[in-house]
Amino acid sequence: MTPGAIGCDAQPRGTSTCAVWGAGAMAGAACGGEEARAVCTFSPRERRLFAISSPDGRLQVWDTASSRLQQEYVPSAHLSAACTCLAWAPPPAAARPPPPSKDGPQRKKRKSEVAEVDKQLDILAIGTAVGSILLYNTVKGELQSKLDGGHDNRVNCVRWHQDSCCLYSCSEDKHIVEWNTQTCKVKCKWKGDNSSVTSLCISPDGKMLLSAGRTIKLWDLETKEVYRHFTGHATSVSSLMFTTVKPMNENKPFDGITGLYFLSGAIHDRLLSVWQIRSDRKEKNAVMSFTVTDEPTFIDLTISEVKEEPVKLAVVCRDGQLHLFEHILNGYCKKPLTSNCTIQIATPGTDGDSTPKPVPILAAAFCADKQSLLLVYGNTLQPIIEKVSVNTTESPVCLIRDIQKVLSLKTDVALTKVKTPVVNSDTKVLVPGIPGHSTAVKTPSAGKEKKKNKRKSGETEESIEERLGALGIDVTKVKTPSGLPQTDSFAVLLVQGLESNDAEILNRVLNTRKENVIKNTVARMPVHAVIPLLHELTKRLQGNPYSASLMVRWLKSIFTLHASYLSTLPDLIPQLGVLYQLMESRVKTLQKLSRLHGRLFILVTQAAASETVQDVTEVNQTAKLVYEDESSEEEGSDDEMIADKDSDENWDEDEEKEEQSDEQDMTVEKEINGDSDLEPENESEEE
Amino acid sequence: MPVPGGSRRAAGHHGAGAAVPAGKMVAPGALRVVRCGGSPRHGARAVFSNDSKYLLCASGDFVKMYSLATEETLRLLGGHGGLVTGVQLNPHNCMQLYSSSLDGSIKLWDFMDGIPIKTFTVGHKLLALYALASSEDSVFVVVPKSSERDTFQLVSVKLTKAAGQDLEAKELSVVLDSVDASPKCIAFGRAGEYVASVKEVNLQVYFFKQKQLNRFSVSAVKAKSGNNHFTCVACHPKEDCIATGHADGKIRLWRNFYHRKEYTFSTLHWHHDTVMDLAFSVEGTSLLSGGVESVLVLWRNESDYQKDFLPRLGSAIEYISMSPDGAFCCTLHTDNRITIINSNLRFSKSIQGLIKSMDIKTGLVVDPRTKALVLNGEPGHLQFYSLQSDQQLFSLDIVQRQYIHQAGLKQVDLVKVAFSAQGKWLATVEEREEVTDPELQLKLWFYDEETQSFKLNTRINTPHEDHITGMCFRDMDESEDDSLLLVTAGRDCVFKVWVMVEDTDPEAQQSVSWSCDFVGSYHNYQATNCCFSEDGSLLAVSFEETVTVWDSVTWDLKCTFCHPPGKIRNICFGRLTCSKYLIGATDYGFLCCWNLLNCALEWSAHLNILVLQPDPLSEYIAAVSWLSKESSLFVFKPNEPRPIYIQRNLCKEKIQLAAFVPRDEPEMISAEKYLWLRRSQLFFLTDTQELMTLSTKSLEERLTPASKQLAVEEGLLVTPFSLLFGRHRRQQSQEDLGKLAVHNKHWQDSPAVKELLHTPAHVLPSASFLCPIFINSLLISKENKSAEEVSDEVEMESENTEDDSDEERDAAEMEQEDTNPMELLGETICKLSKSQDKELRKIRKMDYSWISAF
């Protein structure tokens, strides 16, 4: 048997008062230690809300879907009467009459519907350390009522009855109280144990009540008499839960309670015990037990309704780990069961502190689909709620979460609900022309195999081959230096740079502007270096447009000088595909650019002309005598510019003309290019 | 304007739905169309309850009551048959609310309990409602003038105090003629002494006492910059000052308007476009204004220099209202959001359901991670809308550019969204509409679990040269990363396949990024749609009239399908057992089903299908058709040409978007006909952006899952003061309510009456003897004990609840009071000394009638 159970067995039932006192004191101390722990609970059914009460007495209600603080409530006496337990009012019974449709034409129906809405209140019962129970309405966000006069000591557990408006509470003062929540009065109060009663649970049919101090008792709610005793735990029980709603063997008639299993966990106990309610009164020991790494602090389970369906159990321990169990309950099991899956959360520990730190899990609950879990972790003041679907086959699972970043991203959402996704500088940017933006040009023969190659890392292989080949030839090449040392050294440098992939050398070589030098270098360059050079140039073309203007000169001379070599290459099309696409995409904008350029050119010349005119008005005035030539309107003489200064119409006309006559534009543009090297984009046009 | 209501009434089966017997949930009740979000526009300014805890707001045909503490909808006051156009607290009882509607009725509500108290039928369309403290029993409404079209008048309606729920209110008296229809164009001045109304370029002020009407106007054509028509008006609560907003963004403050000539006005100008609403603070020291800029401006001391701003409110501000204690201000926005702002201009709360966006281009997408519905929100954002709670979860800022609110300015907006099967990847396409070529960007986001947020992985500029018409991920549930593909189809006649590649560049920090793998085209036709088969092996891309099917491994064109004439509008593959079928809808009105095995047309139907939506969890496909001004729903399995379910007359509006949302747990539906609803739920969005669904349950049941049927008494009377006050008030209210009931009960239960009515006539004494007894029995006796002495003993018994005089009742209550605190307060109250007790009694005897004013 489990150690806890053995301990219980060893203890005789009729213990002396002294012993009970001792146990009570111990439990009290344990509860005192617990004081620092947050009390939390999920709202029933959809688990839409999560209520957590921090040690300072504030109650926070979080929205689980958006992990957002929905409301905060500070009881007036939160420091003296801290919250000790929480219980959400149960969902309405499933078989509720459907309210009539809103669109019903009958007015009468409408009224009844409105009334229906009225009664729907979402109530959270809060037990306090001084013995009062607060009913807090989570829809309105205000305190609804206060149940007083039942207990005169710390309330240990609060449970709602499923159907009637009853609330059960147990306290350190050894009593169990049944409340009528409609009148806020004590309905019934009875002594539940010789020591403090720490936990309660109502049977699925609502007719029985489990209570536990250290031993567990099953009460008949009608007569308030003890129906069964169970040995319980050595320490005070912190959680009680029914795990089944129907007995597993259906051949016997079901009286609502016999054959059901329930689960209990106790403080300082690393075993969760499962008990079965049997018809024979003899059996008092646990049926089986689950072992966890530390004291359980939060337990959630899915109730199995079918015999074959396993009970799923999620246990959060004090050490911040979550254990998942899956077990089909069918009678005895001697050995304590270990968890199917353990979940831990840790920080990545990459930046700054290199050691990952564990993040405690505060609570966990199964979602409605019984597959995914809602995890609450982090600080009790700012918990993070996340929905995870866990693959239970692999264990243990360690989730890595960057708490700091999550919280910093969350703060924005709290009020405006606007979430800003992370955009880093390391994002890959694809613009037209860059490889990857469009599919690579393939030779028609290149089939699927080729593509597969490409998708992996084909390029590196090729380049190694090339390099090896190049290395061999290079040695021979170096031996035959002749002619101009200047350009030759450039060629050598270039080849060396290409082989070693040395950016510095390549920069030195490729950034030359002199047409002549480039031509000579390319001419003297070994043939095998042409393709690497082309690749290098393509890479550089993708970058800064300014560097592109320099690279274009190189390209030009390569194509003029090595065209014959290139045409012999069998895989020329894929080799130059990227370059081709790059050119295409760049040239695509040429038309627009040249149009823009044309307009700008006119503007600039006009501005310049008007300026010069203003400067030399005196001089021009004299020349104005020669005014016979009226035909030369087209040439846009200076005089016309003066005239046009104010009238927009003529100007427009001019512009249109410019657009119409593209050729004229081009010539103008050429002139500009000749004059200044300011427009690097236009270089590509020369290709 | 019965538009919002019309759609719901269109659901043909409501009669049957109401007839479903109680408790039989799974019974094959009729399927109803239920509206579940995207509430129609706000008709009026919102109203705060007197304690500033609740907000009451007109929303379509309903008045919604929100809790300010939790942002949750507390109540839905329904009953109006048209758009609610006015909501006003009853100035004489702060627990009551007047609401007016286009259906021509004014309703009085007890909003805390959600009970309609009275309905006054006016008969005309009511366009605005104003309730004043100064007018005893009448409210002011704006009604259309009966003789002329498009002219409206402000009338005061006398609300009769007669008993009964449904009353006629026909006593109308015209206050002002030719007013504007908008509720913002009329405001009542200090203590209801005058009313100001604006229309076009005229401001008229009517003084009730003097019966004097002053008209002022601003010059009609002033500048090119914009017209200076009036748009809204507000009156200073303490001084004689009227603030008017104008279409050109100016605010004018009018003073001294008692004189026709010597009036003055000053101008405040910050807004660059129409001022949409104005509101004075409670004390009148500051003025709030809002407009399309979505900036709330606070003007202090009516000065042009002292102003504060709250920018980035998301969308244009339509109405501004202040809470009675001045602690909060509430703005209603054009996109249906409600923002609560506290007194020092900070965001306090925001109540937002489905945000209305200009144009939903993204379609309805379900996020596999949060199970939220994803669609366009505010410009450049994606809204994640939780269907369970009818709330916006969050809005994801994809474009990350400041939105500039200016007419005619074209801005970047989201046009396409796709999620990968597990929600790990998100692809978005944003576009700026340009005449020649649009500015396009395709972004691929990775969900980073570490930071619990999406992270941009790859940005592709100009992925296509023209608009992107379709985008989809290859959904593989096992989701090995190398099987993940994204396909985009564009109007530039190609479709592109994007794959994830490992980055070879050592400098790159990311391990993977996306790049193009294949570009496909077909005869230079525009690609319009794309979709993958369930196993991901086939890709179907529609090119105008043709559907092409491609092998997703080799990218070979496998076969083509065509059903001329008519271009393909939608395509989808069948699933599970029907995976050999491909379904397409053409804009020529045909729904075709092709068999992929023999490449033949299996069946076709003549239907004008707008939406084709396969259920991701079953074989069923939902198709929504649009024919003769109504939408109909057809649910079918591809392997049989006969639809499984047909709902004609789904709604009167066009339905452009629909989505199947998987249920968390399969619903128990026994009826064969509705099996298709078992695993997922169908949602669809109408043209007016109302989200609807088909359900056997009603809206309330679905939306408040965590609620419970539990009436808990509010038992928080813990201080002696509240005990005193609370008791008194409660008693009074009970008295108010109970009077009528008591009255009725009284004469029905009276034994005298019974005797009179049930005794045979020949046994009865003479009529002259019976008469006084009968009359007396009908009277509610007060203090006249003589009358009681006259009446016989039986009657005494019946009336003994009534016959206490006021003083006696007081005494009785005092006794109660003495006992009650004992119970409730325990020792604390016992410690009260005799003198204190006496004092309390004294207080108790005082007149509390003024309390009712609160």
Quick: pLDDT tens for B514-527.
Answer: 888 889 999 989 99
Tens digit of pLDDT for each residue in B697-748?
654 444 443 333 344 545 554 555 555 555 555 555 555 544 444 444 444 5
Hey, are the CB atoms on A419 and B395 less than 8 Å from each other? yes
In terms of Cα–Cα distance, which of A345, A308, A342 is closest to A325? A342
Instruction: Give how far Cα A214 sits from Cα of A42, A130, A190, A196, B120, Å.
Output: 26, 22, 17, 9, 65
Q: Are B245 and B235 in contact (CB under 8 A)?
A: no
Of the candidates A103, A135, A460, the beta carbon closest to that of B9 is on: A103
Q: What is the mean pLDDT of residues B476-488?
A: 73
Hey, are the CB atoms on B67 and A119 less than 8 Å from each other? no
Tens digit of pLDDT for each residue in A32-89?
344 456 789 998 877 888 999 887 888 999 988 888 888 888 888 777 888 889 998 8
B18 contacts chain A (CB < 8 A): yes
- Record the pTM: 0.75
Hey, are the CB atoms on A46 and B704 less than 8 Å from each other? no
Which residues 371-430 on chain B approach chain A with CB closer than 8 angstroms? 372, 381, 386, 388-389, 392-398, 400
Instruction: Give how far Cα B174 sits from Cα of B122, B131, B142, B157, B221, Å.
Output: 14, 15, 10, 9, 31
Hey, are the CB atoms on B113 and A399 less than 8 Å from each other? no
In terms of Cα–Cα distance, which of B367, B331, B338 is closest to B355? B338
Q: Are A359 and A306 in contact (CB under 8 A)?
A: no
CA pair distance B102, B172, nearest whole angstrom? 17
Tens digit of pLDDT for each residue in B265-305?
899 999 988 899 999 999 888 999 999 888 999 998 888 88
Q: What is the mean pLDDT of chain B?
A: 79
Residues whose CB is less than 8 angstroms from the CB of residue B813 and which lie 6 or more positions away in sequence, other chains included? B727, B731, B844
Of the candidates B389, B497, B510, the beta carbon closest to that of A65 is on: B389
CA pair distance A578, A589, nearest whole angstrom? 18
What's the confidence (pLDDT) of residue A680? 44
Pair type for strands B166-168 and B115-121: parallel
| Amino acid (one-letter) located at B147 | S
Of the candidates B14, B499, B708, the beta carbon closest to that of A120 is on: B708
Instruction: Give how far Cα B58 sits from Cα of A324, A571, B44, B80, Å.
Output: 48, 71, 6, 11
Q: Are B107 and B79 in contact (CB under 8 A)?
A: yes
| Distance in Å, alpha carbon of A287 to nearest chain B alpha carbon | 31
Hey, are the CB atoms on A95 and B23 less than 8 Å from each other? yes
Of the candidates A46, A94, A417, the beta carbon closest to that of B395 is on: A417
Hey, are the CB atoms on B11 and A101 less than 8 Å from each other? yes
Q: Which chain A residue shows the shortest CA-CA distance from B459?
A: A429
What is the complex's ipTM, to 2 decimals? Answer: 0.75
Of the candidates A46, A416, A436, the beta carbon closest to that of B347 is on: A416
What's the confidence (pLDDT) of residue B732? 55
Q: Is the pLDDT of residue A95 over 80?
A: no
B664 contacts chain A (CB < 8 A): yes
What's the confidence (pLDDT) of residue A450? 39
Of the candidates B35, B393, B462, the beta carbon closest to that of A65 is on: B393
Tens digit of pLDDT for each residue in A138-188?
888 888 888 888 888 899 999 988 877 788 999 998 899 999 887 888 888
Hey, are the CB atoms on A70 and B448 less than 8 Å from each other? no
B25 contacts chain A (CB < 8 A): yes
Q: Which chain A residue shows the shortest CA-CA distance from B716?
A: A145
Angle between helices A515-524 and A545-561 (to 10 degrees): 50
Hey, are the CB atoms on B714 and A144 less than 8 Å from each other? yes
Per-residue confidence at A662, pLDDT binned at 50, 70, 90?
very low
Cα B280 to the center of its chain, rounded Å:
25
What's the confidence (pLDDT) of residue A47? 84
Location of structure tokens 């201009």: B345
Hey, are the CB atoms on A422 and B454 less than 8 Å from each other? yes
Location of structure tokens 């959904």: B475
Q: Which chain A residue shows the shortest CA-CA distance from B824?
A: A148
Per-residue confidence at A617, pLDDT binned at 50, 70, 90?
low
CA pair distance A64, A68, nearest whole angstrom? 7
Tell me if the bond preceding B565 is cis, omega within 30° of 0. yes
B679 contacts chain A (CB < 8 A): no
| Distance in Å, alpha carbon of A174 to nearest chain B alpha carbon | 22
What's the confidence (pLDDT) of residue B798? 43
Per-residue confidence at A16, pLDDT binned at 50, 70, 90?
very low
Tens digit of pLDDT for each residue in B595-628?
999 888 989 888 889 999 999 888 899 999 888 7
Residues whose CB is less than 8 angstroms from the CB of residue B530 and which lie 6 or more positions away in sequence, other chains included? B470, B471, B472, B487, B488, B489, B495, B539, B540, B541, B542
- Six-digit token string for A581: 């696409």
Q: Which chain A residue shows the shortest CA-CA distance from B369?
A: A387
Which residues 100-139 on chain B approach chain A with CB closer than 8 angstroms? 113-116
| Amino acid (one-letter) located at B92 | H
b/e per residue B791-804 (b: at least 16 CB within 10 A) = beeebeebbeeebe
- Six-digit token string for A105: 């034409």
User: Which of B25, B70, B679 should we substitute to test contact with A (largest number of A Cβ atoms within 10 Å)?
Assistant: B70
Cα B376 to the center of its chain, rounded Å:
18
B309 contacts chain A (CB < 8 A): no
Give the range among A543-547, A663-667, B179-183 with minimum mean pLDDT: A663-667
Chain B CB contacts of A420 under 8 Å are 396-397, 400
Chain A CB contacts of B554 under 8 Å are 448
Per-residue confidence at B483, pLDDT binned at 50, 70, 90?
confident
Neighbour order of strands in the sheet with A208-212: A199-202, A208-212, A216-220, A225-230
Per-residue confidence at B140, pLDDT binned at 50, 70, 90?
very high
Q: Are B175 and B156 in contact (CB under 8 A)?
A: yes
Hey, are the CB atoms on B697 and A98 less than 8 Å from each other? yes
Chain B CB contacts of A138 under 8 Å are 70
- Six-digit token string for B499: 């794959």
Residues whose CB is less than 8 angstroms from the CB of residue A404 and which lie 6 or more positions away in sequence, other chains included? A347
| Amino acid (one-letter) located at A469 | G
Q: Is the pLDDT of residue B678 over 50?
A: yes
